[in-house]
Structure 1
Amino acid sequence: MNGAAAMLLACALDPANADTIAFARLIGARLGARELLLLGLSRDQLAALVKRHFSRALDHAEIPTAVLWSPHWQFVSELRTLLLQHDITAATHAADAHCLATIIATACLRPDHLWRDLGLSGRDDVTSILHRHYPRFIARNVKNLRWKKFLAQEVALANGRAVTFAPGCPGCEDFAFCYPERASE
């Protein structure tokens, strides 16, 4: 856990809560790098999330006023909707579920493995978060696909489109591994 995540946990209302720990890691990874916009949350959403979990952790002035813009917001919206449609079992607050789905979907715009895009330590961290919140949905990953590939596949199938990659996938070092048929294009 990085220093920013530890600082957030030190301000936590319930530092042992699994969601609080997950949000400390997700927000902390971006806070330390001054990249809070990469969470995909609006200023109000982020301020409310911080207030729910980390009382007085951030000065409101530290929260960016801009919102990340991307030509791929349709993908983000579709993935967020898909995640929220599935058995959200762990979220204690509906807005937390929405924030988590937004953070995960927005991370799929970045050009690396999902765990790195989320600022986590490895694939197991993503698996743990997804399993905690969307257990029946992620159980469909019977081929043990990488999470970003699986999520992009599920978005395409849910919307009646051909399976393709997430917007950030082409920039990943393992794009040719995940999509060998596309790497030669």
Structure 2
Amino acid sequence: MPQPASKLPLGADLRALAIAGVAGQSLSAGRRPLIRGVADDRVQALLAAAGFDGTFVAEASAPAATPGDDEFADLLALLREELALPDESGNCLCHAIATAAMGENHLWQDMGLPDRGALSELVRANFPGLAARNIGDMKWKKFFYRQLCERAGVPICKAPHCAECCDRALCFGPEEG
């Protein structure tokens, strides 16, 4: 099992930490695959290369994740388009973020990251174009879904500008653990 976010292995980067966090959250919940769209052995190999010790035990009886009627594919496409370094770990990171975004908590929590600041740093480093568009520091999950709605031409705002919206605190407020 990967080490918890609070004990980052020497030399491990935020990409690996995020991938390990999502895999760990899935493992704790008994979900397979650990990261949707990525074979568990690939996740394990990427984490081992980044310095995470331990293994994810594959269990034949573990329930498989079923593709639902969600925005996973759309979010994955957005992330892949915006990925600064499209290598194998970057692709896995895109899958990890899209997997975690299907969760019910704040995105940084569903990614097993220590706080929102770590998620913001991860996005800035790996998706600089997206990070630059998040001008008001909107919560990341809301921001990603807003990007998807804008791409689809779906109006989502209750007011002409966020500053005038009655839901501003939901989108831009602090995220407590």
Scaled by the length of structure 2, the TM-score of the pair is: 0.70
Alignment of 1:34-183 (within 5 A): 34-37=29-32, 39-42=34-37, 45-54=39-48, 57-61=55-59, 64=62, 66-72=64-70, 75-89=71-85, 93-94=87-88, 96-163=89-156, 177-178=169-170
Q: Which residue of 2 aligns with 1:21?
A: 17
SS at match of 2:39: helix
Per-residue CA deviation, residues 78-135 of structure 1 (Å, 9 max, x unaligned), is 111011111423x6x33x2222212212222222211122222221121122112101
Aligned sequence identity (%): 20
What RMSD in Å do the two structures reach over aligned CA positions?
3.2
Is 1:5 the equivalent of 2:2?
Answer: yes
Q: Where does structure 1 differ by over 4 angstroms across 4 or more consecutive aligned residues?
A: 62-65
Give the total of aligned pairs.
Answer: 155
CA–CA distance in structure 1, aligned partners of residues 39 and 33 of structure 2: 13
Unaligned stretches of 5+ in structure 1?
165-174, 180-185
CA–CA distance in structure 1, aligned partners of residues 61 and 46 of structure 2: 15
Contact 2:146 2:156 in 1 (8 A): yes
**Structure 1 residues 58 and 117 mapped into 2: Cα distance closer, same or farther (>3 Å)?**
closer
Unaligned stretches of 5+ in structure 2?
158-166, 172-177
Contact 1:80 1:105 in 2 (8 A): yes
Comparing both structures, which one devotes a greater share of its residues to helix? 1
Q: 1:133 is matched by which residue type in structure 2?
A: N
Contact 1:38 1:106 in 2 (8 A): no
CA–CA distance in structure 2, aligned partners of residues 176 and 110 of structure 1: 22
Contact 1:15 1:21 in 2 (8 A): no
Q: 2:3 is matched by which residue type in structure 1?
A: A
Contact 2:21 2:113 in 1 (8 A): yes
Q: Which has the higher contact order (CA 8 A, sep 6+)?
A: 2
